[in-house]
Each structure stands twice: as structure tokens, then as C-alpha cells.
Structure 1
Amino acid sequence: MKNWQKMLVASLACSAAFGMAQPNVEAAYQLNPEVKTATPALTAASQIGVLSYENPELKNLADKDAIVVMSFGTTFKDTREKTIDATVAAIQAKHPGVKVVTAFTSHIIIDRVKANEGITYPTPEQALDQLKAEGYTRVALVSLDVIPGMEYSYNTGVFHHYKKKFKKMTCGTSLMYWQGQEEQADDVAETIKALATQFPKQGKEDAILIMAHGTPQISNAYYSVIQAKLDDMGYKNVFVYTVEGWPSLETVLPKLKKNGIKHVTLMPMMMVAGDHANNDMAGDEEDSHKSILESKGYKVDAYIHGIGENKAVRDLYVQRAEDAWNALEAK
């Protein structure tokens, strides 16, 4: 278990101070012990990491547990089976007697998959409504997001909206959350090591460009952290860029020229190899990343596989699910 799992922080003390049930949060941060009467706002600000809430009004209900795995989803069936489905199956294998539900956060993808394949995926809200109707009392929410960006905020929003409807609810973190600060785990370095298992062998004129998604949220800064850690860990000519954020491909191009790169391997840092990977990154259109690089004289290869296919990465997602489950089981 991570260090922060051993630190049930200020919310517990604050609950006692206020004489009311505040969300219990396992986090990397502790309020100064001199703070005896923290306000609800200060308490909320300290809630980071795996979120956990126990409803005192439902404490006498029998435990009936479920896990909801939340993903943006994809309309690409092949990659969905190799990534999302494979990850959910690995989580289910850890808990054979527990109900595990896959929920998509993209309503557009839900509609398209239903129309094209006849498969109906629930939203997280629909999944929780159904679990409540079926008598489930404790739920662990699991995220398949890469960073704690806008999609992850959707997940935590679901947690806060539904937590009082169940006896207990927890919400796990994204693949990368902790950065090694305050003696906590370094999820970013762990993920880089796992991702590196799929890196091709490099020569001095070879570069690897890792395509992330990007987000308008301030968590877009994670990509700078990832790049800094890649550099610190000794990965030469491996660059992160985003398709919908900063840094962009244009940001990376001068680095390729400066370092004398002639051959580039493109690969997505996304759970699935969907539209962004197949079209924006490796498509034949003149504005695809592959075409842009080729027009500038680079030889380009594309590794079109979602990171959910990488067992080392998938194992980390299972670990994040276990964090949420362990918090659910914690007394």
C-alpha cells in the first residue's frame, strides 16, 4: 500500500471537532495538529488522493459490494477489447465474487456504440442508480484516466454527487496522480517505466514521440512533469506532446531538428488507440502528425496501440483499482 494510504488525514479529526460526518480521505497531506477547528472549506481542500465517504445514516445496512470502472470509452471495438475490456477483466479477476460494472463517461460514444454494435454501456450515474436499485450498499469507483484532468473531475464529481446514497463509497486516482512529492509514491515515474517496455531500440538519430490527449484544465501541466521525469530518468530523445493541448507537435519539431533526428516513432499515451491515434497521429491526411513529419523529411513509424494493451501499464491500473478497493474495505 502507498504511504498516503496509512495517513487518514484531517477530515477524521475535523469530523470529531464538528460532531458531524465529514468525508474520510486517504491523502498525502495532513493539517497542522494545531488546527483544532478546521472549517469545512479547509477540510475539503485537504481531500486529495483516494476519496472515501461513509454515510452514518446507512451504517446498519449489510455490506453488498460493487466496483464501477469509469472510462471515456471508444467506438473502436478492437482496441476496446484489448484495452478497456482487458483491464476490467484483470480487475474482475482480483475480485471474482464482486460485481464489476464498466461505465463510459462519453455520452456520444455510448450512443454510437449502441447504434453500431447494439451494446449499451451505462454512464457512471446510470450504473450507480442501477446498483442502488439492486440493493448494493458499498461501491468502489475506479478511473481509467491517464492524468487527473477534466475527465477525472467528472469521476470525482460523480463520487461527491452519489456518496450519500450508499453506505460507503470510495473513488480511486487516475493512472498518474502522485509525483513523488512529500515522500509519496511517484506514479509518473512508475508509468514511464511501464510505458518504456514498449519503446523500440533507439540509435542517436531516432526519437520517440509520445502523443497525449491534452486538457484545458490546469492539470495539463502534468505533461511538463512527465517530460522532466523522462529527461531525469535518462530517456534520450523521447518527447511528450499533445493533440489538444500544450506542448503540441509544433513545440517538439525544433527539438528534433536540433538533435539531428532522422527517424521518429509515434505512439499514443492513451488508454485506447482510437480516433486520435489512428487519424490525428497516424492517418494519411496531410494534416496528420505522421504526414507533417514525413513532409519535413523524417522517416516515421507509428505504434498504434493503446496503453491498455501494455500489461505493465495495465497492472498499474489494477493497482489503482486495488487502492480504491482497499479504502472501501478499511475500517
Structure 2
Amino acid sequence: MYKSFHCRTSRLLYLLCASFLLLTLSCTGVLASHGQEQPEKTGILLVAFGTSVPEAQVAFKNIDSMVKKAFPGIPVQWAYTSHIIRHKLAKQGQILLSPAQAMAKMADEGFTDVAVQSLHTIPGEEFHAMFGTTRAFQKMPNGIPHIAVGQPLLSSAADMSAAADALLANVPKERKPYEAVVFMGHGTPHPANVYYPGMQYYFSLKDPNVFVGTVEGSPTLDDVIKTLKARKIKKAYVMPFMSVAGDHARNDMAGDEPDSWKSVLTKAGIECVPVLKGTAEMDNVASIWIDHLKTAMQQLKH
């Protein structure tokens, strides 16, 4: 009887152990099938503030072409950080994704490595919000395992010096040394506004009659006009210090309204020559963004 009981107990323990082993292997197999490494798939996401001005799209088309030439065969997608511009374009039937929507789409499409390149000018509010949003996808279940974010146009002293050289190379050739060049930046209450006076320093080293003003920060247009008057400068070429020659450039800078930069400068006795060309239209400026993207791509490999 004891032997029979012992045998039955042994068989029961065997069956329990076997069942447990099969269950463990089954679960391990399921987990392995879900957790197995995805095939490597690399992509690029270009993120800009955006523009709703059709004529300004030439700037984005130019940098899109440059990126595809620098990274042949790698898919390139776009996102706009501006909700207002995305909403406006959606009403016109043109759907642009936010950074979060674009990253979710790329995750769903199986991208494992994504280099996100900011096309902002400075590392301000828009850049930092985008940075946090896109990097969050690296920690999400079924997200994107490897993400690197390329810096905006200006992120170092070397960037500012290079940008100053590149922008000066795009000043109209007919401009005389005693005439001014005024670059219109957007400006921001964010601490990153410091890059604009920083750029003023680098411009001053290279050309004493080149100035930076901003729409919503400092230096202001009034600051620039005071210096122009003090130097008795009578003519100024005004250029956007923005990736596109969009609404700010066409209205706030070159418009006919009384408060446009052209009108204010003219009223101050300074002839104004607007130049409607975004910085992303300029290959030598766009090359700085491309260099930052190359750095981001290299970070994906580490």
C-alpha cells in the first residue's frame, strides 16, 4: 500500500513538474516572440515650427532635398511643432503631423532607430518641448528603441560663428559696406533668447554694420534703429533670421502696415530693402543643420 501510494505520489509530482515546465516554456516562448529584437529600421524625422505660406515652402523643400542627398535610402518624415499652423493647413486639406503623432506613426511602422532633427533656430521653448516629446518614445512599450535628437541651428559658439559667416555670404552683392544689414529673429521670453545678442557679437566681429533684431525678444527694432541713427546709416537690407520667409517675414518685416519693420525704418529716414529668403533656402546655412543631423545619426550607432 505504501509502495502504491509512493508511486502515485511520484507520478503526481512528475506530472506537476512536467506541467510547470511546459507552462514555463510556453510562457517563455510567448515572451520571446513578443520581445524578440525587431529588424533594424532607420529613419529621419525633420521637425520645424512650420509655415502656412505656400511661397515659403521652398525653404523646407530645399533642406528636405539636402537631407535625402546626405542620407540616401533613409526614409525622411516631417512634423510641425506649431498647433496653429497645423490646424490652419488642415482646413486647407493639408495634413501635417505633430512630433508626437509623427513618432507614433514611425513606431507603428517598425522604425527602431530615429534621428530627429530640429529645424528651429535656437534651443527655445519649441525645441525643448519637441525634445522631451520625441525622446519619451524611447521608454514606451512598443516605442522606438533608439532615438537621437539633432541640435537646432544655434547650439554653440562654433554654430554662431559659422552661421554668421553663412548668412553674410547671402547678403545681396549690391550692398555697400557703409549700408546696414538687419536680420529679423523671432525672439522669445525663454532664456535661449540670449543667442540673438550672441549672434550680434559674432556679426560685429565680421561686419560692424550688420545687426540683429527680434519681433518678440531682444534686441528690439528700436535698439537697432538707435544704432543706425547714431552711425548716420541711411539704407538697410532687412533679412529674416528664420528658417522660412513666412508670415513674419512677409508681413511683420516687409509688409506695408504702419508697424512693419519696413514702414518703421522708412519713417525713421532709413531706406529699407527687404530680402525674402529663409535661412533654410541657403545651402551654406542649411549645412549646419545637416552637420547636427550627422551627429545625431552617429549617436544612434552607439
TM-score by length of 1: 0.77
Kept in 2, the 8 Å contact 1:58–1:166? The answer is no
Are the structure 2 counterparts of residues 260 and 140 from structure 1 closer, same or farther at C-alpha, using a change threshold of 3 Å? same
Partner of 1:246: helix, strand, or coil?
Answer: coil
Residue 18 (structure 1) aligns with: none
Deviation at 1:204, TM superposition (A): 5.3
Supply the AA of the counterpart residue of 1:296: A
Deviation at 1:203, TM superposition (A): 3.3
CA distance in 2, matches of 1:247, 1:257: 16
2:134 counterpart of 1:156: no
CA distance in 2, matches of 1:303, 1:133: 42
Supply the AA of the counterpart residue of 1:217: H
Residue 225 (structure 1) aligns with: 198
Partner of 2:167: helix, strand, or coil?
Answer: helix
Are the structure 2 counterparts of residues 67 and 59 from structure 1 closer, same or farther at C-alpha, using a change threshold of 3 Å? farther
| 2:54 corresponds to which of 68, 77, 85 | 77
Give unmatched runs, 5+ long, in structure 2.
1-33
CA distance in 1, matches of 2:275, 2:229: 22
CA distance in 2, matches of 1:327, 1:59: 23
Supply the AA of the counterpart residue of 2:47: M
Deviation at 1:202, TM superposition (A): 4.1
| 1:211 corresponds to which of 175, 184, 188 | 184
Residue 94 (structure 2) aligns with: 119
1:224-282 C-alpha deviation (Å, 9 max, x unpaired): 111111112x3121110101111110111110011110111110100001111011111
Kept in 1, the 8 Å contact 2:135–2:147? The answer is no
Supply the AA of the counterpart residue of 1:287: D
Supply the AA of the counterpart residue of 1:64: K
Kept in 1, the 8 Å contact 2:38–2:110? The answer is no
Residue 319 (structure 1) aligns with: 291
Supply the AA of the counterpart residue of 1:208: V
2:72 counterpart of 1:100: no
Matched ranges for 1:237-276 at <5 A? 237-276=209-248
Partner of 1:83: helix, strand, or coil?
Answer: helix
CA distance in 2, matches of 1:204, 1:168: 49
CA distance in 1, matches of 2:225, 2:178: 14
Residue 23 (structure 1) aligns with: none
Q: Work out the percentage of aligned pairs sharing the same amino acid.
A: 34
Residue 37 (structure 2) aligns with: 60
Partner of 1:67: helix, strand, or coil?
Answer: strand
Are the structure 2 counterparts of residues 204 and 305 from structure 1 closer, same or farther at C-alpha, using a change threshold of 3 Å? closer
Partner of 1:163: helix, strand, or coil?
Answer: coil
Supply the AA of the counterpart residue of 2:44: I
Are the structure 2 counterparts of residues 92 and 58 from structure 1 closer, same or farther at C-alpha, using a change threshold of 3 Å? farther
CA distance in 1, matches of 2:235, 2:250: 19
Deviation at 1:60, TM superposition (A): 3.3
Q: Which has the higher helix share?
A: 2
Residue 190 (structure 1) aligns with: 162
Partner of 1:101: helix, strand, or coil?
Answer: strand
Are the structure 2 counterparts of residues 60 and 273 from structure 1 closer, same or farther at C-alpha, using a change threshold of 3 Å? same
Residue 295 (structure 1) aligns with: 267
CA distance in 1, matches of 2:136, 2:300: 17
2:122 counterpart of 1:137: no
Deviation at 1:59, TM superposition (A): 8.5
| 2:149 corresponds to which of 171, 175, 188 | 171
Kept in 1, the 8 Å contact 2:179–2:233? The answer is yes
Supply the AA of the counterpart residue of 2:55: D
Are the structure 2 counterparts of residues 93 and 189 from structure 1 closer, same or farther at C-alpha, using a change threshold of 3 Å? same
Deviation at 1:58, TM superposition (A): 7.1
Q: Which has the larger radius of gyration?
A: 2
2:118 counterpart of 1:146: no
Matched ranges for 1:21-40 at <5 A? none
Kept in 1, the 8 Å contact 2:148–2:296? The answer is yes
Deviation at 1:144, TM superposition (A): 0.2
CA distance in 1, matches of 2:35, 2:239: 47
Partner of 1:102: helix, strand, or coil?
Answer: strand
Deviation at 1:210, TM superposition (A): 0.6
Give unmatched runs, 5+ long, in structure 1.
1-56, 180-185
